[in-house]
Every structure is written in C-alpha cells, then in structure tokens.
Amino acid sequence: MRTRVHAALNAVAALMVCASLSGQGRSTEYERLGRDILKELVETDTTQTSGSTTLAAERVASRLVAAGFPRADVQVVGGADRKGNLVARYRGRGARKPILFLAHLDVVDARREDWTFDPFVLTERNGFFYGRGTLDVKGGASTLITTFVRLRQEGFVPDRDLILALTADEEGGNNNGVQWLLTNRRDLIGADYCINVDVGGGELRHGKLVALEVQAAEKVYASFTLTVKNPGGHSSLPIKENAIYRLAAGLQRIASLEFAPRTTEITRGYFSRMAHLSSGQQADDMKAVARQALDEAAAARLSAASAFYNALLRTTCIATMLQAGHAENALPQTAQATVNCRLLPDERSADVQQALERALADPQIAVAPVAPPVPSPPSPLAPEVFAAIESVSKAMWGSIPIVPVMGTGATDGLFLRNAGMPVYGVTGIAYDVEDVRSHGRDERILVRSYYDGIQFVYRLTRALGGAKG
C-alpha cells in the first residue's frame, strides 16, 4: 500500500525521468517477459468483490513450472477458494538461511467510468503503464516473477533458498494471505528476513531520481468509533439535544488534536539523509529533527510543509466515516464516526484512546477501538541488506542516498515483523512523490521505471543469493 500526495506529473518531467534512469545491463528479452507478466496480472481480476487471487497464483505457478521449477516447489495454498497464495522455493546450497521475497496479488476495486482507460487492461500511453495494481503492487510482483524465471533459466545456484510469496488479502478481507500462511503453513515461508516490494523504492522529484527508500518500520493501524446515543423522536418536534450535532461538535475538537512530535532511529536516519537533498530552512529543519534531542520548532515547520513529514513525525488521527439517523423524518437515535489513527511504532493504543477522549471532552461521546491494533516493531538496519542495496543502486544510478524510512501506511510486513522476521521494503520501480495514484484513478507507473525495477530486483536477488560481481 502506497500513500502520499496525488497530483499530475507533466509530460516534460516524464521525459526527463525516462532520460535520467539507467539503461545499463538491460535485457530486451526479459523486458518483454516482464511486460507480458505485468499484462497478465493486471488483466486478471483480483479485487475483493469479484476477483480471484487463486487464478492469478495459478497462472504464475504455470510460468514458474514452465521455466524449470519442480512442481513440488511451487504451491498455491490458502484458506478460501478465491483467496489463494503462490509460494515458490528456489532451492540453493543451504549455506545460509532462506530469504523471503514478498508482494500481494489482490487489488482494490476500480470502476471503469472513473478511469480514462479500462483499469483491468494494461495500457501503455506517453511513457506510462496504466492499470489497477501497476503501482500497488502488481508491478513489483511482476519484477519478482521475472527475476525468478530469469535466474532459473540462467542456471543460477544461490547459496541459500530464495522464497517467493505472492499473497491474498493485503488490501483487506478475511486474513487469507500472510496471516494465513503464518498460522497454517509457516514452514513454506520461514526465512532469515523478508524483502517486501510493496513499499520503498526510488524517489523522483521534478523528474530526477534523488534517493532510494528502504522501509524498515511502519506505523500501527488503529481505528476507533465515536458514538452518541439519543432517545430520538419526531422530526417535527425538534429539541436542542441532537446526536448528530453533539457528534459534529466533538469531531471539530478532534480536528484540532495534534500529537507531540517524536522520532525514532529510522526517522532520524531518514531526515539526516534527506537533508542533503534539500536546501535552506528545510535542510536546516531536517538536520534539527535528525538529532536525538528533537527541535519542536523545526518539526512544526516540516509538518506544515508536508503531510508526509507530518506523518513521519507523529501519531495521526483523522475522521474517515460517518453514520447517523434511521429516517429523514425522525430525530437521530445514534450518530457514529470512525476515526482512523496511524500510531508511531512505540505508541500505546490505550494512550491514543485517552487522548481522543480528552480532546472530545464529552462523556456522552463513547470512544471504543474497532479492533485490537497489531504492533509493528522496527526491523534492525541489517548491514548485509543495506550493503547489497547500495551496491546495486550505485551500479545502476550512481551515488544516490539509500534512505531508511518508516511507512505511514500498513503492509503485510506488519505480521512478519510480529512473527520475528525482519522486513525491508524496497523496489526498483521509482515513483514521483507528487504523483502516487495507488487506490486511485488512472493508477500508473513509468515504463522506464518498471524496466529499471526488473533489473534492480534481478541484481539484488543475485547479490543476496551470494553471487559475486
């Protein structure tokens, strides 16, 4: 899942990006294969409402078996007919523990009438691939599939097993994806650590590749309901006490609630490295919040300048849903709002609930958690992983900073981290930070970025698998 500002990337910037990204070491054969795989995945409906990740997983399984994987090492498993997961094992020499490579197959719904193009047909226009899932995250999944096929065809023998998991239910559902695998088939995905292509990746700013993000932590998802009850009555006899008005007044107070800024090792590392890509006051502010003793004035300026910086610096809560009343000619008996919070990894849900209650300052507005939040401990910044990423990145794009980052959204890395497996989110598909369209209209990725992504994942997988040079 990717989140940031949605805006248009103009044609000039797109051309600059295409010119700026590396073409070194390309294989036209595997670019064609990668395009075919992306087309097949985008044009396989894997939405929650009408699609099937099982069908997509079976199509990937067929490709892997045709490439030479033993059928016993390619499995489609899951807890529901339409919610299958693909798990494939690339067997190595067993000198080290396996690595898990992760992406999800399911996508959010998309309506044809909302899009310029059919969301379930891969469309190439003006240097972009359009289609539901191109960014989140069938593009990333396709780079992994292409890499596993290519390495098998080349006869590569890694020094450890490499595990590919393409899963269901990341976008919501009945927990038939990573959670199901951890509970029912942990033997298939047990690994030293995980590379998750659903997050991270190259940052494009004004058409220029400026940094490569590696997600090593993510915020914790927690939603709360705010509920007001009232006896109700006939709308022709209104009274001052009204459930909708009371809830609305409370929500106005929630709108003013701001949690104190705090940093972690990962967010300090992010701002420290990104400061070198900024200038003026913003660069000074980034350096200030990167210190152990947080500069609150600097944090306030960064938060005002960018919703993303604000989300990195503090826990956030925002009203997202409303329900009220039962008839247009009746006083409301119930008014309810959902407030979605994204907690810093070490924030306690109970403390956030208390903060909401203090902000509401109204005992008639009941606050309750929707579900117990799942904590997400940060992953250690493993030298092996970061050294390999830096080496591959430098060979492809030169000396751009490798930046650890905390994800502001939620991914399946959450469940793996809680199971004791470090997770590092990184993809080679660069994206413009002002043009992130995942879950939105006309989702797209740059064609050249996608082909760079194939090359990046191929090189990184070889490096982590023990290849020399």
58 and 205 in a single domain? The answer is yes
- Are 277 and 211 within 8 A, CB to CB? yes
Please give the model's pTM, rounded to 2 decimal places: 0.87
Using a pLDDT cut of 70, give the percent of the chain over it: 94
Q: Looking at the structure, do residues 305 and 201 belong to the same domain, yes or no? A: no
Cα Rg of the chain, angstroms: 23
pLDDT reported for residue 469: 64
* 386-409: average pLDDT: 95
Statement to judge: residues 402 and 291 lie in one domain = no
Among 369, 395, 427, residue at a domain's last position: 369
Tell me what pLDDT residue 205 has. 84
Q: Specify if 380 maps to a domain.
A: yes
The answer to whether position 419 is within a domain reads yes
Q: What confidence tier does 19 reach under pLDDT thresholds 50, 70, 90?
A: very low
CA dist 203 and 180 (Å) reads: 33
pLDDT tens digits along 322-345? 999 999 999 999 999 999 999 999
Do 154 and 24 lie in one domain? The reply is: yes
**Residue 115, in any domain of the structure:** yes
Look at the chain and count its residues: 469
Same domain membership, residue 302 and residue 187: no
**pLDDT number for residue 375:** 84
Cα(42)–Cα(33) distance, integer angstroms: 14
Backbone φ, ψ for residue 146 (5° rounding):
-60, -40
pLDDT over threshold 70, residue 5: no
- The pLDDT of residue 11: 36
Identify the band that residue 397 occupies on the pLDDT scale cut at 50, 70 and 90: very high
Q: Do 155 and 287 reside in the same domain of the chain?
A: no
Residue 335 lies in a domain: yes
| Amino acid 7: pLDDT | 36
- Whether residues 31 and 100 share a domain: the answer is yes
Mean pLDDT of the chain: 93
Domain assignment present for residue 271? The answer is yes
pLDDT value of residue 452: 97
Closest CA to 87 of 185, 17, 15: 185
Examine the domain organization and report whether 187 and 316 are in the same domain: no
The total domain count for the chain is: 2
| Alpha carbon distance 388, 399 (integer Å) | 14
Same domain, 169 and 62: yes
Contact between residue 46 and residue 171 where contact means Cβ atoms under 8 Å apart: no
| 286 phi/psi in degrees, rounded to 5 | -65, -40
Taking CA atoms, 86 is separated from 141, 152, 159, 211, 423, in Å, by 11, 17, 23, 31, 19
Q: Residue 1: inside a domain, yes or no?
A: no
| CATH number, residue 83 | 3.40.630.10
In a domain, 469, yes or no: no
What b/e string do you get for 422-456 counting C-beta neighbours within 10 Å, with b at 16 or more? bbbbbbbbbbbbebbbbbeebbbbbbbbbbbbbbb
Is 50 exceeded by the pLDDT of residue 23?
A: no
For 357-389, write each residue's pLDDT tens digit: 999 999 999 999 999 998 888 999 999 999 999
The answer on 383 and 256 residing in a single domain is no
Tell me which residue of 409, 208, 214 sits closest to 308, measured CA to CA: 409
pLDDT reading at 32 higher than 60: yes
Domain end among 369, 393, 426: 369
Say which CATH number the domain at 336 has.
Answer: 3.30.70.360
> What pLDDT is attached to residue 179?
95
Q: Give residue 434's pLDDT.
A: 78
Residue 12 has pLDDT above 70, yes or no: no
Q: Which band of pLDDT confidence, cut at 50, 70 and 90, is reported for residue 108?
A: very high
Distance CA 47, CA 106 (A): 6
Q: How far apart are the first and last CA of the chain?
A: 33
Question: Rounded to the nearest 10 degrees, what angle do helices 138-154 and 53-66 cross at?
Answer: 20
User: What per-residue confidence (pLDDT) applies to 468?
Assistant: 82
Residue 13: pLDDT above 80?
A: no
Query: Are 74 and 169 in the same domain?
Result: yes
Query: Is a pLDDT exceeding 90 seen at residue 6?
Result: no
Q: Please report, for residues 211, 315, 343, 359, 362, the alpha-carbon distance to residue 355 in angstroms, rounded to integers and kept in the order given.
A: 36, 11, 12, 6, 12
Q: Three-state secondary structure along the chain? A: CCCCCECCCCHHHHHHHHHHCCCCCCCHHHHHHHHHHHHHHHCCCCECCCCCHHHHHHHHHHHHHHCCCCHHHEEEECCCCCCCEEEEEECCCCCCCCEEEEEECCECCCCHHHCCCCCCCCEEECCEEECCCCCCCHHHHHHHHHHHHHHHHHCCCCCCCEEEEEECCCCCCCCCCHHHHHHHCHHHHCCCEEEECCCCEEEEECCEEEEEEEEEEECEEEEEEEEEECCCEECCCCCCCCHHHHHHHHHHHHHCCCCCCCCCHHHHHHHHHHHHHCCHHHHHHHHHHCCCCCCHHHHHHHHHHCHHHHHHHCCEEEEEEEEECCCCCEECCEEEEEEEEEECCCCCHHHHHHHHHHHHCCCCCEEEECCCCCCCCCCCCCHHHHHHHHHHHHHHHCCCCEEEEEECCCCCHHHHHHCCCCEEECCCCCEECCECCCCCCCCEEEHHHHHHHHHHHHHHHHHHCCCCC
In 3D space, the residue among 243, 202, 203 whose CA is nearest the CA of residue 226 turns out to be 243
CA distance 12 to 126: 11
pLDDT at 9: 35
As given in the structure block, the two tokens for residue 386 are: 């970061």
Domain end, chosen from 322, 344, 369, is at: 369
Q: Are residues 15 and 94 in the same domain?
A: yes
- In whole angstroms, give the CA distance from residue 21 to residue 29: 19
Among 430, 398, 352, CA closest to 9: 430
Domain that holds residue 250: 220-369
Residue 18: pLDDT above 70? no
- pLDDT at residue 10 in the model: 38
For 207-236, what is the mean pLDDT? 95
Q: Is the pLDDT of residue 232 over 70?
A: yes
Q: What is the pLDDT of residues 168-220, one digit of tens each?
A: 999 987 789 999 999 999 999 999 999 999 999 999 988 899 999 999 999 99
pLDDT above 80: residue 396 = yes
pLDDT at 26: 55
Residues 274-331 have pLDDT tens digits of 999 899 999 999 999 999 999 999 999 999 999 999 999 999 999 999 999 999 999 9
* CA atoms within a 13 Å half-sphere pointing along the CA-CB vector of 305: 15
Determine the Cα–Cα distance for residues 386 and 404; give it in Å rounded to an integer: 9
* 384 is a domain residue: yes
